[in-house]
A and B are shown apart, each in its own frame.
Chain A
């Protein structure tokens, strides 16, 4: 690791102030992704602001029947929360599909959203990567792109977002709450958090530099026409446990989000619209996939989703595919 200085923040306001005043500062909470990247010198912050003990780890009921999850709530605590398990099972299923027990105990809600891609070219500092070294090119375009994006990719970057949790939060239509460097609180839909790569894949979110995620807010659980929960998370990967996804799907009510197939959790709005008009799951995902693109080695993801999504929709509806 490159040398850095370290401080522990005692308030969210103090944390964003420190971030605004210190060049090349980064927040650290669980650290499971950031420290991995710092060891490889992919991340080289000059200063770490430890936000891990900020008093924003509670999971609280909201007045409208939803749930506010503090940004420092660990992945394990969120997955195990009785309200999450009973009312937002898709979120528990997604979280326990990711990482290992040890990692989930350390990883936080805010950090999970901001984890970085597992693209091999991002990790290998001897290879070109526009995300790690802007302007150096994309090694994955013509290289080992088996786990690359099939939606929303650009000629500059075909990396995917690795989070499982964020896919479920997208299907649940969650809202992200933040504190900006000037101390201003704001909130926005989770679909507005991450951006597509375009020409600047190094810029992964719409957050202002130094802006801190403070909470994720879930609206009341979705209800389908029959009053059921209609939630399910399904993930396909190379081994049964402790592996990043090749493709995943979260269904919550009528909403569908796809994981490991784009630079951000992919809200499948075209499939949702088709379903709402009475299409079958098979027909609905076909509409979404009509706009998918693929590279040399990741075309199989299209077939995976063609099979996976209708099964997940049927499971969420309580019927067989």
Chain B
């Protein structure tokens, strides 16, 4: 089935079995293997990418559902030699051990920070009508869809915090 998806700024024409998930299209068809397959059931967050700027689990979406969409993967966030600030922050803060969850953590963090900037509440938001204060509890809650089996959570919080700035 013919589908065109803009991936990291480049329009990619694909011809796919409708069963192909967005994750498999990225990894197997486009060979963008930065996005990782963990559980393949939306439970671990390793496959997180940005679709039109919004973070989603690419394993729980069919590629054909994204015809015309703009997808950003970790390869589009930054490259060796031209790292994005969030990528440099993960290095500086030692925010991983094995690194398998890291592309998903970083894409999720970018989506999460945009959600905070847009004023979206979480279950840690006590006053639903006030501006969001990105406390550490808020940050952890908003990142709960990304599992790290090496348990680098304190460093992940530190890395995201270093990019987000202190809670106002």
Residues of A in contact with B (beta carbons under 8 Å apart): 1, 3-6, 8, 28, 31-32, 35-36, 39, 48, 50, 52, 76, 79-80, 82, 85-86, 89, 92-93, 96-97, 99-103, 105-106, 240-242
Within 8 A of A (CB), among B44-83: 45, 48, 54-57, 60-62, 64-65, 67
Within 8 A of A (CB), among B1-31: 1, 17-19, 21
Contacts of B40 in A (CB 8 A): 39
Task: Taking A32-B60, A76-B54, A86-B128 as given, write out 5 further A-B residue pairs in contact, using a Cβ cutoff of 8 Å, ordered by the A residue number.
Answer: A76-B115, A97-B123, A102-B56, A102-B57, A106-B61
**In the assembled complex, B144 has its CB within 8 A of some CB on chain A:** yes
CA distance A208 to B36 in the complex (A): 40
Contacts of B19 in A (CB 8 A): 1, 3-4
Kindly report which residue of chain A lies nearest to residue B3, judged by CB atoms. A6
Q: A39 contacts B41, CB within 8 Å?
A: yes
Q: A4 contacts B18, CB within 8 Å?
A: yes
Which range holds the interface residue count of chain B?
Answer: 35 or more
Q: B62 contacts A6, CB within 8 Å?
A: yes
Beyond A28-B65, A102-B42, is A242–B145 a contact (Cβ under 8 Å)? yes
Contacts of A39 in B (CB 8 A): 40-41
Kindly report which residue of chain B lies nearest to residue A100, judged by CB atoms. B145
Q: B122 contacts A96, CB within 8 Å?
A: yes
Q: A79 contacts B129, CB within 8 Å?
A: no
Contacts of B115 in A (CB 8 A): 76, 101
Q: B42 contacts A32, CB within 8 Å?
A: yes
Q: A242 contacts B144, CB within 8 Å?
A: yes
CA distance A93 to B57 in the complex (A): 22
Q: A100 contacts B60, CB within 8 Å?
A: no
Contacts of A76 in B (CB 8 A): 54, 115, 120
CA distance A105 to B108 in the complex (A): 12
- Selected from A28, A32, A52, the residue in CB contact (under 8 A) with B57 is A32
**In the assembled complex, B112 has its CB within 8 A of some CB on chain A:** yes
Instruction: Give the distance to chain A from B144, nearest Cβ to Cβ, in Å.
Output: 4
Contacts of B112 in A (CB 8 A): 101
A-B pairs, top 6 by smallest CB distance, nearest first, are: A100-B145, A241-B144, A6-B18, A80-B120, A85-B128, A242-B144
Q: B108 contacts A101, CB within 8 Å?
A: yes
CA distance A31 to B62 in the complex (A): 8
**In the assembled complex, B118 has its CB within 8 A of some CB on chain A:** yes
24 A-B contacts (beta carbon < 8 Å): A3-B17, A5-B18, A28-B62, A31-B60, A35-B61, A85-B121, A85-B128, A86-B129, A89-B128, A99-B145, A100-B42, A100-B45, A100-B144, A100-B146, A101-B115, A101-B122, A101-B142, A102-B42, A102-B108, A102-B145, A103-B57, A106-B56, A241-B144, A242-B144
